[in-house]
Chain A
Amino acid sequence: MSNKIIHWFKYGSPQSFYPLAGKMIPWFWALAAIFCVAGLWIGFFVAPTDATQGEAYRIIFIHVPASWMSMFLYIVMACWAGIGLSLNTRLSSMMASAIAPTGAMFAFLSLWTGALWGKPMWGTWWVWDARLTSELILLFLYLGFMALQAAIDEPRRADKAGAILALVGVVNVPIIYFSVKWWNTLHQGASISMSKAPTMAITMLWGMLVMALAFWMYSIAVALQRARAIMLERERHTDWVKYAVE
């Protein structure tokens, strides 16, 4: 009986998480590739042209999932950082550091694709409205988190400083999400929300959701890969790393 119980907590130690992550990574890469191909196929060939924006609206298949991921990854990163700070678990802090670059990439992608769409549609690359500005602040929070951790040599202290920055920054995420509701902005309101039916054609919606899944899988795969690298680096003096590398 006792040998059937899975000891979940053992995966909280880098030593046993390292091989597990190694086994999971190829699966997430494969899923990411499948969803990405399917999402782009729906986005470019199945979804109809938009009545007012023409073909330019197709940027939403990258823009919207990237924006979602940039916000969601921040929450996940802050949660790991918070757990690491309060429970002093090594792996949680490593996960937080592993997620940050991916989150920053999605925040950048969201801003960049938004600018490309904004020029022909709105008539400007950039406007200082609440949505755009708070998303830019999110990118700076990610960059600040990474810079702060890189600036402190001792890993445990770097984790603590980074965690406090990450937790303080959490307040920005609901501001981004609700900015289009609370203030008048140039950015349009949400097409998809919990409270009402989506205001877009169903195939367009599918394209976006499948792309969002692809970005999820991609984020998990890269974050795990980066976490593995961080584990090896930080625990390089231990025995298990010597065996793992051989």
Chain B
Amino acid sequence: MKSRHKRIAIIAGGLASLGVAAFFVLNALNSNIALFYTPTQVAAGEAPKERVFRIGGLVKEGSLKRNDMTIRFVVTDTAKEIPVAYTGILPDLFKEGKGVVAQGKLAADGQFTASEVLAKHDENYMPPEAKHAVDTAGQTAKTLKQ
């Protein structure tokens, strides 16, 4: 074996073992890397108690209520729901039916008091006309189902 072949083998072996190590580390840290808990995870008791954490999901359609400075809405992952109260300014993309990430504390009665609300954008980019077409198509599909 030439020394150059040896070096290539060492580098390839090193990279492979590094990849495996990284895989195990990331697997072990899985729950800590996730930015937020879904309502289902919270319902299952996976979220930390008495500590600030983030929940993420969709803002339930028709759940948004404004009362002076306090905003109330429901975060859902279509399986479980969490009611959220928040006092402050909402980001531009915050909308019913869209993604949201809220940071705060969960009370014993299941009410989540948020200190920060962030909007989560999806990967779809389209002009308003296309959006309109997609929405109407969605409406038609819904009507047809009923």
Q: What is the interface of chain A, defined by CB distance below 8 A to chain B? A: 48-53, 57, 60, 82, 85-88, 120-124, 127-130, 167-168, 170-171, 175, 182-186, 188-191, 199-201, 204
Contact B126 A121, beta carbon cutoff 8 Å: no
A166–B10 Cα distance when bound, in Å, is 15
What residues on A are CB-neighbors of B119 within 8 Å?
Answer: 121-123
18 A-B residue contacts at CB 8 Å? A49-B128, A51-B130, A52-B131, A86-B4, A122-B118, A123-B90, A123-B91, A123-B117, A123-B118, A124-B116, A127-B118, A130-B35, A171-B19, A184-B35, A188-B122, A188-B123, A191-B124, A200-B126
B28 interfacial by beta-carbon distance below 8 Å: no
Size bin of chain B's contact surface: 35 or more
Main secondary structure of the interface of A (DSSP, over half): loop
Min distance, Cβ A68 to any Cβ of chain B, angstroms: 15
What residues on A are CB-neighbors of B30 within 8 Å?
Answer: 183
Q: Contacts A127-B118, A175-B22; is A199 near B4 (CB within 8 Å)? A: no
Contact A188 B33, beta carbon cutoff 8 Å: no
A160–B53 Cα distance when bound, in Å, is 44
Chain B 69-112 per-residue mask, 1 if CB under 8 angstroms from chain A, else 0: 00000000000000000000111111100100100000000000
Which of B26, B89, B129 is within 8 Å of A175, CB to CB? B26
Min distance, Cβ B104 to any Cβ of chain A, angstroms: 14
Contact B120 A201, beta carbon cutoff 8 Å: no
What residues on A are CB-neighbors of B91 within 8 Å?
Answer: 120-124
A50–B127 Cα distance when bound, in Å, is 5
Min distance, Cβ A180 to any Cβ of chain B, angstroms: 9
B44 interfacial by beta-carbon distance below 8 Å: no
Of residues 1 through 53 on chain B, the ones whose CB sits less than 8 Å from some CB of chain A are 4, 7-8, 11, 14-15, 18-19, 22, 26, 30, 33-36, 38
A204–B36 Cα distance when bound, in Å, is 30
Contact A49 B93, beta carbon cutoff 8 Å: no
A188–B56 Cα distance when bound, in Å, is 13
What residues on A are CB-neighbors of B128 within 8 Å?
Answer: 48-49, 51
Which of B19, B35, B92, B126 is within 8 Å of A186, CB to CB? B35
Contact A188 B120, beta carbon cutoff 8 Å: yes
Q: Contacts A48-B127, A53-B121, A167-B15; is A121 near B7 (CB within 8 Å)? A: no
A180: nearest chain-B partner, CB-CB: B123
Give the 3 A-B residue pairs with the shortest CB-CB distance, closest first.
A123-B91, A48-B127, A51-B131
A151–B39 Cα distance when bound, in Å, is 50
A184: nearest chain-B partner, CB-CB: B34
